[in-house]
Amino acid sequence: MKVSCLIPPVPRPKKPEGLKGVELQVRKVPLTWVTNSEKDIAFYYIYRGSDKGQKFSRIAKISGKTNYIDEGLENGHEYQYKIQAEDKDKLKSDFSDITTIRTKPKPKAPGGLEVKSEGGKIELRWMKNTEADISHYIIYEKVLFFPKKVKTVTSNSFTISGLPPGKKKTYVVKAVDKDGLESEPSREIQVVVK
């Protein structure tokens, strides 16, 4: 009589749970997840996608921890993440649920830039940005094709004096937040001292 001994298949790791990230960070996404219950997990593989789940690429292979910081990202961009566990037998789990995280956007360009000329002085005014964390504004003069920094101010106006009469100058304003993110320039405004 023949006796056959069937060895049950080794189970694959469970799919990782609890994947989450911190929103609105500057050019990075800190990720965390829950440790798998299996004691023989060797690695976690982290995948990133940015095409609404269509294309994911592996960006990291992590051992011995359940967190990762994805850095060098675009400002104001949405990224999707999923992870996979691998045990010491090289068996891989199903993918975790996908989580979507957005990095912090740059401030909006200041709007409503206008000029008022009085007694040889020029006053530039613009609307305050609506973002709560704007720290200052930078006024630039456009010289040929390159902007030249004129002044940094915390209010939404700036007075320029000592400009030569009849000379045209072009200015733009940028908003900067507390993290140092600089907006696109406001619309250009031309100034002529009479």
CATH of the domain at 81: 2.60.40.10
Cβ atoms 82, 48 nearer than 8 A: no
Average model confidence (pLDDT) for the chain?
Answer: 89
Q: In this structure, are 30 and 79 located in the same domain? A: yes
Q: Which of 68, 102, 136 is the last residue of a domain?
A: 102
On whether both 34 and 84 belong to a single domain, the answer is yes
Q: Are residues 184 and 124 in the same domain?
A: yes
Backbone angles phi, psi at 21, to 5 degrees: -135, 165
Contact of 82 with 59, CB cutoff 8 Å = no
* Residue 124 and residue 93 share a domain: no
Q: How confident is the model at residue 4 (pLDDT cuts 50, 70, 90)?
A: low
Q: Are residues 78 and 118 in the same domain?
A: no
Q: Are 62 and 44 in contact (CB under 8 A)?
A: yes
Nearest-angstrom CA–CA distance, 8 and 108: 60
State CA 13 to chain mean position distance. Answer: 33
What predicted TM-score, i.e. pTM, was given to this entire model? Answer: 0.77
In the chain, the percentage of residues whose pLDDT exceeds 90 is 69
SS3 state at 56 = strand
Looking at 45, 75, 102, the residue that finishes a domain is: 102
Residue 6 falls within a domain, yes or no? no
Full domain range(s) for residue 51:
20-102
15 located within any domain? no
Residues 159-174, mean pLDDT to the nearest whole number: 83
Q: Of the given ranges (17-26, 65-74, 152-161, 163-172), which has the lowest mean pLDDT? A: 163-172
